């Protein structure tokens, strides 16, 4: 049974914050989050990329975004899980429908938390009981 949890004390930009940027700045943001995921998962990766996974993604920020903004803010984080061989890919066949959460944080004290379960060994009900 594989379980991964990590927290990063900053959060990715929402789609509304990066949509109008030059493509090179968007690519820089993606690379930044791929590297953050690489360092956050070092020594904690599964022996082979997961072919079925359950994801719980939590964002803490001082302001709440709409649901699309919340979901889109995790795009490069999930891509980082694929690039760093935690997940086989990020299609619905592999990650299903991740659980997205938001919680209030003080201004400039935002963070994200990423949890990944091997869905072959865990059910969503088990994941709800996990730490």
Q: Quick one: pLDDT at residue 125?
A: 56
DSSP string, the chain: --EEEEEESS-PPPHHHHTTS-HHHHHHHHHHHHHHHHHHHTTT--SS-BSSEEEEEEEEESSPPPHHHHHHHTHHHHHHHHHTTSBS--SHHHH-S-EEEEEE--TT--EEEEEEEETTT--HHHHHH--
Count: domains in the chain = 1
Report the CATH number that the domain containing residue 62 is assigned in CATH.
3.30.1330.70
**Residues of the chain with confidence (pLDDT) below 50:** none
The neighbouring-strand residues paired with 58 are: 101, 113
**Can you give the residue range of the structural domain that contains 94?**
3-129
User: Considering the entire predicted model, what is its pTM?
Assistant: 0.89
**What contacts 14, CB < 8 A, 6 or more positions away?**
65, 69, 70, 72, 73
Q: Quick one: pLDDT at residue 16?
A: 83
Q: Quick one: pLDDT at residue 124?
A: 55
Q: Quick one: pLDDT at residue 75?
A: 96
């Amino acid at each position: 049974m594989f379980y991964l949890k990590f927290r990063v004390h900053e959060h990715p930009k929402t789609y509304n914050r990066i949509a109008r940027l030059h493509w090179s700045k968007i690519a820089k943001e993606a690379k930044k989050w791929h590297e953050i995921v690489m360092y956050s998962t070092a020594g904690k990766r599964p022996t082979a990329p997961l072919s079925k996974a359950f994801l719980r993604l939590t964002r803490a920020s001082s302001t709440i975004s709409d649901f699309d903004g919340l979901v889109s803010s995790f795009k490069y984080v999930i891509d980082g899980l694929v690039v760093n061989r935690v997940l086989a890919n990020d299609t619905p066949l592999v990650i299903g429908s991740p659980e997205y959460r938001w919680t209030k944080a003080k201004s400039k004290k935002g963070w994200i938390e990423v949890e990944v379960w091997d869905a072959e060994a865990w059910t969503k009900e088990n994941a709800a009981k996990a730490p």
